[in-house]
Amino acid sequence: MTEETAQARECNDACVIRGSGLSEQAEAHGRYVFECRDADGKLKWRETIDNIVCTVGKNLMLDTALAGSAYTVVGPFMGLISSVSFTAVAVGDTMTSHTGWLEGGGTNAPAYSGNRKTAVWSAATAGSKTLSAALVYAITSSGTIKGAFLVYGTGASATKDDTGGTLWSAGTFATGDKAVVNGDSLNVSYSTSL
């Protein structure tokens, strides 16, 4: 008689799938939107700039938003970046040290009437803050611009070429320099988000 035997075996396999954790990042981003209109109000060009938010600007925002007890905003004031002697904007730029660019409107072309423009904001929504209306620069002499910047905080001033305050952002055109002439109006909007 032949005996048949069958070996009993059991196999188990287990797998645990779980989330890798929660992660959230808040990065400051900004966007300038430029429109240049001629003396008759006709659109000459339109350009959007995604800018850098400078380290000193981020630090001031964090210190005042998360640790400040009583804080009044000075500015922000928006100025133009001239093409004169331009090499670059950098995240490490400050109002007293931005060796790659010069401000337009005062000493450097193009000139515009009045001071730097004062930013007036709409209420923040969905993690974004936007100017309530475009800032208007009445161009009084021909020149070439590279972009714009925002300065605010203690010491900030609407005076062209002033180096006080904290540089929030600086941005330049990705598609190249933009020429303006006497009689043009440059309308600049700005928004920033976290």
Core vs surface per residue 42-73: b (16+ CB within 10 A) or e: eeeeebebebbbbebbbebbeeeeeeeeeeee
Instruction: Kindly report which listed range (23-27, 33-37, 165-169) carries the lowest average pLDDT score.
Output: 23-27
Tokens matching residue 69: 């007890």
- The domains of the chain are located at 30-193
Question: For the residues 105-120, what does the mean pLDDT come to?
Answer: 96
Instruction: State the pLDDT confidence band at 22, using cuts at 50, 70 and 90.
Output: low
pTM exceeds 0.95 for this model: no
Instruction: State the pLDDT confidence band at 180, using cuts at 50, 70 and 90.
Output: very high
Other Cβ atoms less than 10 A from the Cβ of 158: the count is 16
pLDDT tens digit sequence for 75-112: 999 999 999 999 999 999 999 999 999 999 999 999 99
